[in-house]
């Protein structure tokens, strides 16, 4: 992968030039979101169907903001732009393709503290109970 350092006045050329996926790495306030919004608008304007664009963010609020900002700059409404969190995308991949890799059910999503009497492995580990044998991730999902 080639690393290119751009200033905001060079963005238009980068947005229009690149084929395939783009990874934008920059510090806080550098304009990552604005760059991604411009790239998505450019792709839609160039004829890429909005349902073939995936915008990823770290938070649900960030994903919703990306979707809204892309749609706000266009002349039509796009409810089909996929804007998601990294975690949500990973969960959807596991739900859809886990059985192919040998997973027998949907993984449990841990979103907060567990009740004291929970049989969940995380609770058992905190209580000092013996650790269960390690489960390996199927090679097809690595």
Indicate the domain borders of the chain. 8-107
Q: Give 15's pLDDT tier (boundaries 50, 70, 90).
A: confident
Q: CA 43 from chain center: how many Å?
A: 19
Q: Indicate whether 100 pLDDT > 70.
A: yes
Contact 40, 53 (CB under 8 A): yes
Q: Quick: pLDDT tens for 19-65.
A: 777 777 888 888 888 888 888 888 888 888 888 888 888 889 989 99
Nearest one of 87, 127, 132 to 107, comparing CA atoms = 87
Nearest one of 120, 91, 121 to 103, comparing CA atoms = 91
pTM reported for the whole predicted model: 0.65
Distance, in Å, from the CA atom of 109 to the CA atom of 120, rounded to the nearest integer, reads 11
pLDDT at 28: 84
Neighbours of 74 (CB within 10 A): 14
- Across the strands, what pairs with 54? 82
* Overall fold of domain 8-107: Rossmann fold (3.40.50)
């Amino acid at each position: 992968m080639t690393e290119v350092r751009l200033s905001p006045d060079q963005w238009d050329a980068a947005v229009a030039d690149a084929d395939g996926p783009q990874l934008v790495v920059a510090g806080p306030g550098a304009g990552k979101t604005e760059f991604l919004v411009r790239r998505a608008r450019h792709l839609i304007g160039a004829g890429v169907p909005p349902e073939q664009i995936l915008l990823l963010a770290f938070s649900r609020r960030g994903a919703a903001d990306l979707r809204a900002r892309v749609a706000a700059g266009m002349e039509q409404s796009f409810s089909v732009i996929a804007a998601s969190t990294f975690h949500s995308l990973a969960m959807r991949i596991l739900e859809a393709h886990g059985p192919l890799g040998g997973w027998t059910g949907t993984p449990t999503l841990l979103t907060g503290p567990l009740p004291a009497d929970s049989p969940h492995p995380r609770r058992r580990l905190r209580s000092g109970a013996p650790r269960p044998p390690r489960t390996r991730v199927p090679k097809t999902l690595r």
